Structure 1
Amino acid sequence: MSHKQLIYYCWQKCLLPILMPATVQIVVLTLGVLSILGSTAPMSHAQAVFSSSHIQEQQTPSKSTVLNATVYHSPDCNCCGGWIEHLKTQGFKITDFSTPDIETVKQKYNVPDNLSSCHTAIVNGYVIEGHVPADDIKRLLQEKPNVVGLSVPQMPVGTPGMEMGNRKDPFSVVSFDRKNSVAVFNKYPGEF
């Protein structure tokens, strides 16, 4: 084993797993090995060291998922701001679009009439309709089911953005697909 191979092996197998989470490991490992090999290393060698299957093994879906949400809402709605703030506190980056024609947005993203609420968001290709809690969106992004999105129909009291003291109406978060099939994704009991 050459000196460079020994350094690479010790770095990859011994030190790196202890020091950093998987996503950072990949970046640091790539930079470290490339600096060890020097800029004169043939590309084919670098490609052999970093096979795509090796990189995939070290990534964790929940840590690598970027939490971006594009939110469409009526300029007259105040509760949408509360829901947006809820998402921000949970690590989402928000692109906020106020539109007087929210119904056109709902039609564009195939939100069924019986599942509609006051705002529509797009998160990593999924439609999020209404006051869906951030934890349910994160679970959706981790599990990646074959659905169009999630909805909390109407505007139940106690959902994120619809807080009224300690009162919480019971509500369900439902998933929906392109065939208009609806399933309960999560249930929340009411509290008074």
Structure 2
Amino acid sequence: MRSRRTILLSGLGAALVSMAARAGQARRLEVWRDAACGCCGGWVDHMRREGFAVQDNVAGSVAPARRMLGTPPDLLSCHAARVDGYVLEGHVPELALRRLLATRPPGILGIAVPAMPAGTPGMEIPGQPPDTYDVIAFGGRPHRTFMRFRGSEPA
């Protein structure tokens, strides 16, 4: 019979192997943004730091990408993205994206942070307190709140 220590160590080893495999397989995130937008570049940098493999598509206009993705016009911000079949619009925090990818709620096409709230990833403004804002789930009507944040932290 195996000892508790052997069972614990084998379980820990399996967990470490699983984590290493996931770390080597960064999720591909496609982004469409305007070259002149500095906050979009900040969001791209944030997502790279959080482990996403970002394909940064700099475009003269993001409108064609939004039409292709099916982004609702009432949720627009400054850049659009796609990851694992989901659409992102605006400065979506990494935590909201990870929750979406982990839970895969039915009926959701994507999530958005409309406008450009202060304190969102890429919109950090020194000396200005972060806004409280909603990450909106869309894909059916009505849109609904998926998560609420203050800056990059859940509110």
**Same-fold status (TM-score > 0.5):** yes
User: How far off is 1:149 after superposition?
Assistant: 0.5
8 Å contact 1:132–1:151 — kept in the other structure?
A: yes
Deviation at 1:180, TM superposition (A): 3.7
Q: Does structure 2 retain, via aligned residues, the 8 Å contact 1:121–1:129?
A: yes
Task: Flag structure 1 segments of 5+ consecutive residues without an equivalent.
Answer: 1-12, 28-61
Q: Which residue identity does 1:101 align to in structure 2?
A: S
1:68 lines up with 2:62 in the alignment: no
Deviations 1:93-152 (A, max 9, x none): 111100112111111111111101110010111001000000110010000112100000
Match of 2:120 among 112, 136, 159: 159
Report the RMSD for the aligned CA atoms in angstroms: 2.7
Identity across the alignment (%): 33
Equivalent positions of 1:1-192 (< 5 A) are 14=7, 16-21=10-15, 24=18, 66-146=26-106, 147-165=108-126, 166-177=128-139, 179-189=140-150
Whichever residue aligns with residue 45 of structure 2, its letter is: E
Larger fraction in helix: 1
Q: Is the 8 A contact 1:174 1:185 kept in 2?
A: yes
Greater Rg over alpha carbons, structure: 1
Q: Which amino acid aligns with 1:157?
A: A
2-side partners of 1:188 and 1:139: how far apart? Answer: 13
Aligned residues: 144
Residue 3 of structure 1 corresponds to which residue in structure 2? none
1:189 shift after superposition:
3.9
Counterparts of 2:104 and 2:24 in 1: how far apart (Å)?
14
Deviation string 1:3-27 (CA, Å, 9 cap, x unpaired) is xxxxxxxxxx9564242317549x9
Larger relative contact order (Cα-Cα within 8 Å, sequence gap ≥ 6): 2
Counterparts in 2 of 1:136 and 1:65: CA distance versus 1, 3 Å? farther
8 A contact 1:175–1:184 mirrored in 2: yes
Aligned mates of 2:26, 2:70 — CA distance in 1: 24
Q: Give the secondary-structure state (helix, strand or coil) at the position aligned to 1:155.
A: coil
Q: Does the residue aligned with 2:130 lie in a helix, a strand or coil? A: coil
SS in 2 for 1:185: strand
